Structure 1
Amino acid sequence: MTFVLGLTGSVGMGKSATASIFRKCGVPIHDADATVHELYRGEAAPLIAQAFPSVVKDGVVDRAALGQLVLEDPDKLRALEAIVHPLVRAAEKKFLADLYSDREPLAVLDIPLLFETGGEERCDAVLVVTTSPEIQRERVLLRPGMTEKKFQSLLAKQMPDAEKRRRAHFRVDTGNGFASAEAQVRSILTCLAARPGRVLQRMIRRDGHRFSERSSDITRT
């Protein structure tokens, strides 16, 4: 049974770089952020247009405009999440169904706000990407358009790194460069080799779904 590893980390910790190492090692990854970006160009766009007409242009969500609209308004943010989160979960379920059919031994769910949204319940184990606060701040402030105020606002919406590290089963520290991070990932892969997963079994029991042998669909029993 596929072992599902959750991958998370606060802004500027190096999660994307760590995800690229897993891909390099041939591990299938479901990227929640990338899925959202696809939805903003497709299925979610008309739904967001109904709620926030000013942020959709030519059928595509203007992410910068949407971010400005919801960043400081919790009610609007919740309304956006109510639209997007179910669509992302549906894409995630399809991803897992495909891997179940293909009998993949390991899959990674790359979810930035994994702990904040209770996503650890959908994982057999969680890996947190981390580094020092000084390196984190330096990385984030180098991003185009980033300010200290925006950085602090992002941090306020995320669980503190210390708490994420406390809850994690595995950690990757990216503070010593890519080669060090890759060595840590490969060590984790060795640790997880042939380890059976339990999440998909729980999903089948809870949702009453069956995963067909060579199908990318989840069908009702």
Structure 2
Amino acid sequence: MSDGPLTDSTPVSSTPIIGVIGPPCSGKSTVARHLESLGGVWLNADEIAKSQLSEPDVIHELKSLFGDSIQMADGSLSRSRLADLVFGDDESSHTRLRQLEGVLHPRTRTILQSEIAKAKSDRRPFVILDVPLLLESDYRETCDEVWCLQVDPDRHQELLASRGWDAEELERRNARQWSWERKRLASTRVIPNNGTEEELRRLVESELASTLQSR
């Protein structure tokens, strides 16, 4: 998703857009969910993209790219078969992944544009933009602020282990990304998550109050 920001050059809206980023298991979803409970509109690009996999026109286009084997007997898409095709380490898998992104990303971007416009029209207090590779894919220009979650290394290793991830898996997922040091430097606010979930919620509320007061 690198075809430019979602918004145009119109004056700053009273509905700020807050991008939320963070390493795996850093608490990003917890932060986004809490912000949503405080009145924000949570736009999760991953969930929007996944929802597109149920659309008949998307299934038809993916079948033309990857063959009939990705469709199940009931007409739905086999996500496990699709994953087998696009998430390998070989160049063919990488090519198929780019093809899949070429189908899903423009549709996802259009939906995000529509939802942001609706939130502004409805005068919602703020939008939470949750997009993979937000900084790498130029979504930074869409956001009024970017919040980056940070977890101490030892705690992060514990959280990753609880999800069943090892260092190799984390390295694989980080291969296409900026370093987290670079991401923190490019963010508006860095939010540490080294305590309890309640402490994280209070910190988020404080940062939100500061964000809204600065508008």
TM-score range, shorter chain: 0.7 to 0.9
Give the structure 2 partner of residue 126 of structure 1.
146
Distance 1:49 1:23, change over 3 A: same
Of 2, 25, 29, the match for 1:12 = 25
Superposition TM-score, scaled by structure 1 size: 0.79
C-alpha deviation, 1:152, in angstroms:
2.4
Identity of aligned residues (%): 26
C-alpha deviation, 1:87, in angstroms:
0.7
Superposition TM-score, scaled by structure 2 size: 0.81
C-alpha deviation, 1:177, in angstroms:
2.2
Does residue 33 in structure 1 map to residue 46 in structure 2?
Answer: yes
Moved more, 167-176 or 85-94: 167-176
Structure number with the higher strand fraction is 1
Name the SS of the counterpart of 1:105 in structure 2: coil
Mind listing any 5+ residue stretches in structure 1 that lack a counterpart?
197-221
The separation in 2 between residues aligned to 1:128 and 1:17, in whole angstroms, is 13
1:43-192 maps to which residues of 2 (within 5 A)?
Answer: 44-53=58-67, 54-57=69-72, 58-71=74-87, 72=89, 73-143=93-163, 146=165, 148-192=167-211
Residue identity opposite 2:63 in structure 1: A
C-alpha deviation, 1:194, in angstroms:
5.0
Distance 1:55 1:133, change over 3 A: farther
User: What is the total number of aligned residue pairs between the two structures?
Assistant: 195
Distance 1:50 1:94, change over 3 A: same
Distance 1:158 1:67, change over 3 A: farther
Mind listing any 5+ residue stretches in structure 2 that lack a counterpart?
1-12
The separation in 1 between residues aligned to 2:77 and 2:162, in whole angstroms, is 25
The separation in 1 between residues aligned to 2:94 and 2:129, in whole angstroms, is 26
C-alpha deviation, 1:85, in angstroms:
0.7
Distance 1:166 1:121, change over 3 A: same
Q: Which runs of 4+ in 1 moved over 4 A?
A: none
